[in-house]
Amino acid sequence: MDSKPKLYLAIVCVICLTAGILAVYLLCYSYSEYTWLEAEDADIVTPDFEIAKDPLASGGEYLWIPEGTGGDPGKGVAVSTIRINTSGDYVIWGRAIAPSVDDNSFFVQMDEGFEAIWAISLSDNWHWDAVNHLGSGEGSYPESDPLIFSLSAGEHTLRIKQCEDGAKLDKLLITNDKSYVPANIVGSISGTVITANETGIAYATVTLATLPGDEILSITADSNGNFAFKGIPPGYYNLTASNTGFWTDSDPVTVKADEVTIADVMLCKKCDLNAGGGSTGRCCG
């Protein structure tokens, strides 16, 4: 038999196999979209919405209707533009705090669609909850959880609107992967404020800040100088320790998901220049 037909057959087989693998890959992977938004980064934010700081919030900030503002449904609006690449059914997740039944809702509107009443599951802590519609259980707007948004490819306008005061919103995820459940990704920092001879400095003040310098949390070390920051979003931070009689010092620290970063901070004593501190007055020991 001529070897040419065999060669053609082999080439055709390779092409078919490659096309098949590519098709399976596209079907399995390319249609899953995950669009993450920080709530506080909305394009437009109107009162009574306010942006507040919380070290446990993603990006250190969140959006909320301050408790005590009172109910003024629809007054405050946070508008975000999102881009969808693949037409289809999407769900929206929000990382929220909803302490009670009087602090657990926002209106959610996509483009000019109806305003869903998102009743958030109750918790004093940041947690992910799928946007739902409380509905009336009858008529054209039945209760739905999660609420499905049918979105065409292109730009869409997402509006989060004021409903109950006291509800807090940190972050949003828009995805067509309906089996995906976002996890609460945090890490922690543990360490000791010490002198140069590694003695713990009791009750030192330890401050965690962003690299640009925004303070997010300040705590007091225990009687042995030990301190810990828990539930911190992964990222790069600055850790500053200070105490009376010591020179304040800062160190960069990296927080990784599900890990404890060990970060000891060494402080040098302020001392009498005549007692061996040298020209800087810095006595380490």
- Separation CA 246–CA 196 (nearest Å): 11
- The answer to whether the beta carbons of residues 93 and 175 sit under 8 Å apart is yes
Give the residue among 210, 208, 231, 212 at the shortest CA–CA distance from 220. 208
The residue number with the shortest CB distance to Ca ion is: 166
Cis ω before 48 (30° cut-off from 0): yes
Contact residues: Ca ion, CB under 5 A: 38, 57-59, 101-105, 164-166, 170-171
Neighbouring CB atoms inside 10 A of 28's CB total 9
Distance CA(255)–CA(257), nearest Å, equals 7
| Nearest partner of 65 among 54, 51, 80, judged by Cα | 51
Kindly state the smallest distance separating residue 244's Cβ from Ca ion, in Å: 35
The set of residues, in sequence order, having a beta carbon less than 8 Å from that of 16 and lying 6+ positions away, is none
Nearer to Ca ion, 59 or 235 (CB): 59
- Going by C-alpha positions, the residue among 263, 193, 190, 266 that lies closest to residue 225 is 193
Q: How far is the CB of 144 from Ca ion (least distance, A)?
A: 17
133 or 171: CB nearest Ca ion: 171
Report H helices in 99-192: none
Q: H helices of the chain, where?
A: 3-25
CB of 251 to Ca ion, least distance (A): 25
Task: Return all residues near 196 (Cβ < 8 A) that are at least 6 apart.
Answer: 266, 268, 284, 285
Closest separation in Å from C-beta 125 to Ca ion: 15
Structure tokens at 274: 């005549």
Nearest to Ca ion of 43, 102 (CB atom): 102
Quote the least distance from Cβ 108 to Ca ion, whole Å. Answer: 14
Task: Write down the least CB distance from residue 100 to Ca ion, Å.
Answer: 7
Nearer Cβ to Ca ion (105/132): 105
Between 104 and 242, name the residue whose CB sits nearer to Ca ion.
Answer: 104
Of the pair 103, 129, the CB lying nearest Ca ion is at 103
Query: From CA 72, how far away is CA 65, in angstroms rounded?
Result: 10
Helix (H, G, I), strand (E, B) or coil at 202: coil
Q: Which is nearer to Ca ion, 23 or 101 (CB)?
A: 101
Min dist. Cβ of residue 61 to Ca ion (A): 5
